[in-house]
Amino acid sequence: MENSNNNNDINNYNKIFKTELTQGEFNKLGQFIMSEYGIKMPPEKKIMLQSRLQKRLKALAIDNFKDYLDYLFSPHGMSEEVIHMMDVVSTNKTDFFRESTHFDFMLSEALPRLTKDLSVKNVKIWSAGCSSGEEPYTLAITLSEFKEANNQIDFSIFASDISTLVLKTAINAIYNEERIKEIPLVLKKKYFLRSKNHEEKKVRIIAHLRNKVEFARINLLELTPVREAKYHIVFCRNVLIYFDRATQLKILTSLCSNIVKGGYLFLGHSESITGLDLPVAPVVPTVFIKN
């Protein structure tokens, strides 16, 4: 009897994972994701979307996409399920010290200028699209290193993402040891704690740095320009590539309004603002200063 139940479970599992997303269902989902979150869903992403959403069908014990869409667009689905859907749909790839030239520029150019030439005492940074936290914690490490030689300054970091799933990882700040293998040993010893269980091969960001970073779930498409700028540096790297040009302009306009005059905007190395009317000027590739 036990084997029979196990076979039924396996058959049900396979049935769910053979469910296909029809073209009509893909179009409906794609239009919704684009209109609400600004993320492009071209035809070639149909298989990707189908594969990732299988996790949600399985979690909800729903065996077809028609029923899933009915649930998603119900009042309860729009308040709860849409968050889980975006957790699996959004792409989250990041590393510590990714595109390291940006952090080199911060130490050699941006931070000295802000703190010495502009007399900033408390550097405020926003990591927009922070994923699982590697970027804001790299920023915290960079600021901590700078502060050691400039002890009259302080800093705070705000980090946001659309995915609650990756934000949980970011808040916990626990990572596989493999994730920090490229970080210099001196920084590992200063800013990471090893698990007492060495077989786990886990590390955690030290409490002092964790306390310097505040996390929140934010949909960048819902941003509106602000009257009073707050941040000296905004990182929005490898996020804009998922949006069309009009959406990029909308998001960047709002982000730039949050940057103080003379502050910096950092984009990913594959991103460009050529042709966009924004109040910034290039300093070095993918780094801009607010006019």
Catalytic residues: 52, 161
DSSP 177: G
DSSP 77: I
**3-class SS shares of the chain: helix, strand, coil, % to 5:** 50, 20, 30
Distance spanning both ends of the chain, measured CA to CA: 73
C-alpha span between 193 and 212 (Å, rounded): 16
Tokens describing residue 177:
């040891």
- How many angstroms from the chain centroid is the CA of residue 59? 24
Check if the beta carbon of residue 187 is closer than 8 Å to that of residue 129: no
Between helix 164-172 and helix 82-89 the angle, nearest 10°, is 70
* Listed residue (134, 155, 157, 137) closest to 146, CA to CA: 155
C-alpha span between 157 and 137 (Å, rounded): 9
**Which residues touch 257 (CB under 8 Å, ≥6 apart)?**
225, 226, 227, 229
Query: Which residue(s) pair with 287 in the sheet?
Result: 266, 284
